[in-house]
Amino acid sequence: MDPRQSARPIRAVYRFPVPEKFLSQVAQRISQLQQQPQWWVERVRILERGAHRPDPATGDIEVPLVAPIPRRQVRSLDIRPWVERLWFEAGYLYFACAITPQGSTRPEEVLRLLDLDSLLDEGFIIERVSLQLADEPSLEVPAP
């Protein structure tokens, strides 16, 4: 890689532990999803209007009298083009996601499609197990 260039990620692989009692449900949901041409999710972004950030370097330590007003921006996205593969291995759900200049999917969105997002509230953790950069050889992703 040219030292003047910054690394550009192109793929991330995540894993998520799936309790045994959910395995058949998740396998069935994956099968259903693979039959669908699009996987729509709603992405919510919180924007703050009127937020004033003091800059101590300029002597600005004024605190705004009015709290910032949060505003929600909701977009519907088809994340299927970014999810390259979903599979189970040794009690874990794995998924490979493309990272493009146009965007990527958030791992939580994949879990939401599989009805597993409630497990995050119970303390289960999504782990990124690999990140492929643009000039690296292709990752070995198990065949179905």
From-to residues of CATH 3.30.70 in the chain:
9-39+79-133
Tokens 């499609």 belong to 113
Q: What is the pLDDT of residue 61?
A: 62
Q: Tell me which architecture the domain covering 9-39+79-133 has in CATH.
A: 2-Layer Sandwich (3.30)
Q: What is the pLDDT of residue 64?
A: 58
pLDDT tens, 81-95?
Answer: 999 999 999 999 999
Identify which has the larger pLDDT, 30 or 141. 30
pLDDT tens, 54-106?
Answer: 666 666 666 555 566 678 888 999 999 999 999 999 999 999 999 999 899 99
pLDDT tens, 109-132?
Answer: 999 999 999 999 999 999 999 999
**Which bin fits 30, alpha (ψ -120 to 50), beta or left (φ > 0)?**
alpha
Amino acid at 11: R
For residues 93 and 114, is the Cβ–Cβ distance under 8 A?
Answer: yes
